[in-house]
Amino acid sequence: MNIRFLFAALVAALALVSCGSGARTELFNGRDLTGWVCVTDGESDAPAEGVFSVLDGNIRITGTPFGYMRTARQYGDYRLHVEWRWIGDATNSGIFQRVQEGDKVWPDAIECQLMAGRAGDLVMLGGARIAEVEPVGKFPIKARYDDAGCEKAAGEWNEAEIVCQGDRITVYINGVLQNECTGANPAGYIALQSEGGTVEFRNVYLAGVE
């Protein structure tokens, strides 16, 4: 009787661990930018609230001046889900992983590029390094795998899934594996970039946070 009880308790405990490992953490509440810190180019007079805002339940970023909005806390291992679309012309933006302390326009971070036609490239910002790329130039790049691309037209929603585990980062764009790297910092902030033109984001959440 005791053995059966212990077995049942073990099965229940394993089920809870499985559910917990896939727990979803919302980073955007759909109403305002609570939980985010906005950073803009210090040489610009534009107020942050004019660059980063919420419109019709989506995050809207104007693209000018340069800057980013980052999470208020740092994260370790996770699967990040982000959806984005261009408002007007498809231009440029990015999703920063492993952002380190010291808010500045080009932080120490690994950017998942969202530039139209290059979504999935990995860009080393602010002195960040990965094992697969020689640190040559101001912004070394590890190109995505699929040059044919899998991006949707301006105005349509795209999906990015970015898995960060230890020093490894893996990027999927619209369900297609586009890039991988190792050697990144094991923890940091997450950020959405202002660069280029107007872009909207929605359904920004984490799964499997540790």
What residue ranges define each of the domains in the chain, with the CATH number in brackets?
24-207 (2.60.120.560)
pLDDT attached to residue 22? 63
pLDDT above 60: residue 8: no
Could you tell me if 116 and 91 are in contact, meaning their C-beta atoms sit under 8 angstroms apart?
A: yes
Name every residue whose Cβ is closer than 8 Å to that of residue 13 and which is 6 or more positions away in sequence: none
Pairing of strands 109-113, 189-194: unpaired
pLDDT attached to residue 146? 84
pLDDT attached to residue 46? 85
Mean per-residue pLDDT, 103-112: 96
pTM over 0.85: yes
Could you tell me if 113 and 120 are in contact, meaning their C-beta atoms sit under 8 angstroms apart?
A: yes
pLDDT above 70: residue 204: yes
Structure tokens at 141: 């790049």
Which tens digit of pLDDT belongs to each residue from 33-62? 999 999 999 888 888 999 999 999 999 999
Determine the residue type at 146.
D
Q: Prior bond to 65 cis, omega within 30?
A: yes
Could you tell me if 159 and 60 are in contact, meaning their C-beta atoms sit under 8 angstroms apart?
A: no
